[in-house]
Amino acid sequence: MRWLVDGYNAIRRWPELAAAERHGLPAGRDALCALLSRAARASGDEFTVVFDGAQAGGVGHGGPGVRVIFSSARESADRVIAQMAAAGGAVVSSDREVMRAAARAGAVVITVDEFLARIERLVRQAARPTDDADPDAEGGGEEGDGGDDGEDAPRGPKKGNPRKLSKKRRAAERALGRLRSSP
Q: Please check whether residue 49 is in contact with residue 32, taking contact to mean a CB–CB distance below 8 angstroms.
A: yes
- Pick 161 or 91 by higher pLDDT: 91
Could you read off the pLDDT of 123-180 as tens digits, one per residue? 788 777 654 444 444 444 444 444 444 445 556 666 767 777 777 777 777 777 766 6
User: What's the gap between Cα 108 and its chain centre?
Assistant: 10
Exposed/middle/buried for 34, CB within 10 Å: 0-12, 13-18, 19+? Answer: middle
Q: Identify whether 27 is part of a domain.
A: yes
Q: Identify whether 77 is part of a domain.
A: yes
Please state which of the ranges 21-30, 51-60, 99-108 shows the lowest mean pLDDT.
Answer: 51-60
Q: Into how many domains does the chain fold?
A: 1
Q: Identify whether 149 is part of a domain.
A: no
Q: Identify whether 175 is part of a domain.
A: no
State the pLDDT at residue 150.
44
Interatomic CA distance for residues 76 and 4, integer angstroms: 15
Q: Identify whether 30 is part of a domain.
A: yes
Q: Identify whether 46 is part of a domain.
A: yes
Structural domain including 49 reads 2-113
Could you read off the pLDDT of 112-125 as tens digits, one per residue? 999 988 888 887 88
Amino acid making up residue 91: V
Q: Identify whether 105 is part of a domain.
A: yes
